[in-house]
Amino acid sequence: MRIEGSFVVAAPRERVFAEITNPALMAGCIPGCEAIEVIDPKTYRARILVEVGPIKARFNLVVEVKEEVPPERVVSITRGEEGTRASVISSNNELVLAPAEGGGTEVKYVAEVSVTGRLGKFGLGMMKKKAEALGAKFAENFRGKIEAAAAS
């Protein structure tokens, strides 16, 4: 399934790029992110908890940056699984930063996500809605941190 979205941050593109590639800051913005660890400058490990109604899924993810063009583009691959559990997730992600009309930076993201195993049984349509809601929450968190820092 394809997850996409965009949001505008009131900060210059160079600064948004620096922050969006900063794992420590991202850990505090990604909804459900319990831990993030830098393995090398191109590889991160993250633990994310996703809850949908009665279902709780804790994913161990590895994010590998494939291409980085400051300050406009990051291409990455995410792979992960649910502990010993039988759900496997993988996604190809692209992040594009562009100057927004009227100032600031527009952040656009597209991810092609596949989920198999027990969560795959649950219905991708509803999971897509959940992913979009998490994307909106991330945008709110990220904007909050960057804009608060700029104002102080």
Provide the binding-site residues for other proteins, judged by CB under 8 A: 52-55, 85-86, 118, 121-126, 128-130
* CA 108 – CA 94 distance, rounded (Å): 8
**Count of CB atoms situated within 10 Å of the CB of 9:** 24
**Measured from the CB atom, is 104 or 135 closer to other proteins?**
135
Nearer to other proteins, 54 or 102 (CB): 54
In the bound state with other proteins, the residue whose beta carbon lies nearer, of 19 and 82, is 82
Tell me if 6 sits within 8 A of 106, measured CB to CB.
Answer: yes
For residue 130, give Cα distances in angstroms to 2, 14, 61, 98, 140: 13, 30, 18, 26, 15
DSSP code of residue 122: G
CB of 93 to other proteins, least distance (A): 22
* Least distance CB 8 / other proteins (angstroms): 24
**Helices marked H in 43-110 — which ranges?**
none
To other proteins, the closest distance from the beta carbon of 32 in angstroms equals 15
2 vs 79, which CB is nearer to other proteins?
2
**CB of 116: closest distance to other proteins in angstroms?**
13
Write down the residue that tokens 């809605």 correspond to. 129
Smallest gap from residue 23 Cβ to other proteins (A): 30
| CB closer to other proteins, 71 vs 120 | 120
Residue 116's identity, in one-letter code, is T
